[in-house]
Amino acid sequence: MILAVARYAYPNAKVRALRSRRLTAQDRHFLLEARDFSSFLAYLATTPYGRVLPDLEGEVPDPGVLERRLARSLMEDYAKVARSLRGKREQELVLALFSRFESENLKVLLRALFSGLGKQAVSHLLYPLGKLSALPWDDLWACNNPAEVADLLIRNPFGQALKHAIPQFNVQGRLFPLEMALDLSCFQRLKQAISGLRSRSDRKAAKRILGPYVDMLNISWVIRLKIHYGLSHEEIVNYSLPGGELLTLSNLHRLARAEDISKFMEQIPRSLQREIGEVREWEDFYPYLETWLLRLLARFFAGPPFHIGIEICFLLEKEMELTSLITLLEAKAQGLSPDKTVKKLPRQFSEVAHV
């Protein structure tokens, strides 16, 4: 216990100080109720996110550009949390979580190569990763095709995953296998990082947080691959992420086979069903799942403090706040009403937004 206190006193205090910079109930209310996009941005500039926004005087910036600018705040927090942890294995867990953003940038790079575009054309889609990313980005942008990217990253898990997926990419002539390979390699690394943690309480906490997170992603991926991509149930299960807690492989098979939303709901484990409640539309699933996960993360902050779970909870919570903010930003840019917007957000965002 005393060793855990010594190990986590500094990072936990830092994380709690960083967490105090979340959007307040008042911020959420005024952002949700903003008349238009420019008044939304004017209010956003007064929140802790104002620091990363570009100069708002003059032309209203493009929402796409703003999304990545807002992500800078999350990337900075990742760097701070990773630096604050003492053990290499604990840092590896944060870096494994961070590798999801590296993978997103690699996907943008692959799409740019595939479409014959340069870095300048897609730079607004890239996450500002900063110094935390150890990938050779300049060399990667100098590559001419995905095979060269795989060769350059061969010593990295991304390179290995890409190398295995290149034959499928060549046969199918689309980037989907490469993109899935990148995602799967991130979560494989995450699973390894969890099992590599030194203390049992750290491993337990990390599993209890990241397991449900992976479940949430698996459910939303099943919906996406089934409804939007029309993949067969075998393919959907093949692309499911490792490391979930509630969903077993047979659960995923049944979810992928479900014909309609009511049958899909029946296949979700009962404990999760109770938490997410009644869902009637496919697009409602994600906000409901986010609500469930946010509730779970909040419970961790009220529990015993000295384990890696606090850092992971903070990073996931911040990421979900950013996702909600981006959803709100897009809704405001499209001129959606607050009533319609609130349905796309986790319940926590609207529940406390009445000031």
Partner 1 sequence: MRIKRPLLWISGWLLTSLPCIVWAQEAAAGAGASTGAARWGYIGAALAVGASSLGAGIAVGMVGSAAMGAVSERPEMAGRALIFLGLAEGIAIYGLIVAIMILGKL
Instruction: Provide the minimum distance between the beta carbon of 14 and partner 1 in the complex, in angstroms, as a whole number.
Output: 4
Q: In whole angstroms, how far apart are CA 69 and each of 75, 107, 123, 297, 348?
A: 10, 18, 11, 25, 24
Nearest to 325 by CA among 45, 131, 14: 45
Q: How far apart are CA 296 and CA 212, in angstroms?
A: 9
Radius of gyration of the chain (CA): 21
Asked whether position 18 contacts partner 1 by CB under 8 A, the answer is: yes
Q: What are phi and psi of 300, to 5 degrees?
A: -65, -35
Rank residues 20 and 144 by Cβ distance to partner 1 and give the closer one.
Answer: 20
Asked if residues 99 and 129 have their Cβ atoms less than 8 Å apart, the reply is no
Distance separating alpha carbons of residues 344 and 118, to the nearest angstrom: 34
- Sequence-distant (≥ 6) Cβ neighbours of residue 16 within 8 angstroms: 310
Q: Which is nearer to partner 1, 92 or 275 (CB)?
A: 92
- The yes or no reply on residue 229 touching partner 1 (CB under 8 A) is no
Using the minimum distance from each CB to partner 1, give the nearer residue, 85 or 205. Answer: 85
Query: Which residue's entry shows tokens 């008349």?
Result: 35
Output the six-digit token pair for 134: 């150890």
Site for partner 1 contains 12 (CB under 8 A): yes
14 or 254: CB nearest partner 1: 14
Q: Could you tell me which residues come within 8 angstroms of residue 284 by beta carbon, excluding any fewer than 6 positions away? A: 343
Smaller CB separation from partner 1, 21 or 233? 21
In the bound state with partner 1, the residue whose beta carbon lies nearer, of 197 and 353, is: 197
Q: Which of 16, 295, 340, 354 binds partner 1 (CB under 8 A)?
A: 16
Return left, alpha or beta for 230; rule: phi > 0 is left, psi -120 to 50 is alpha, else beta.
left
The identity of residue 315, as a single letter, is: L
Stretch that binds partner 1, among 2-10, 113-121, 189-197, 263-271 (CB under 8 A): 2-10
Position 10 contacts partner 1 (CB under 8 A)? yes
Using CB under 8 A, pick the residue from 1, 20, 192, 228 that binds partner 1: 20
CA–CA gap between residue 280 and residue 70 (Å, rounded): 32
Least distance to partner 1, CB of residue 6, Å: 6
**Number of residues engaging partner 1 in binding (CB under 8 A):** 18
Binding mask 42-81 for partner 1 (x = CB under 8 A): --------------------------------------x-
Task: Select 10 or 229, whichever has its Cβ closest to partner 1.
Answer: 10
Residue 20 CB, shortest distance to partner 1, in Å, is 7
Joined together, the tokens standing for residue 330 give 């897009």
Q: Which range in 9-17, 51-59, 145-153, 266-274 contacts partner 1 by CB under 8 A?
A: 9-17
Determine, following the binding rule CB under 8 A, whether residue 14 of this chain makes contact with partner 1.
yes
Choose, by CB under 8 A, the member of 47, 73, 84, 156 that binds partner 1.
84
Q: Does 2 bind partner 1 (CB under 8 A)?
A: yes
Copy the structure tokens of residue 304. 């015993």
Neighbours of 21 (CB within 10 A): 14
User: For binding to partner 1 (CB under 8 A), which residues are involved?
Assistant: 2-3, 5-6, 9-18, 20-21, 80, 84
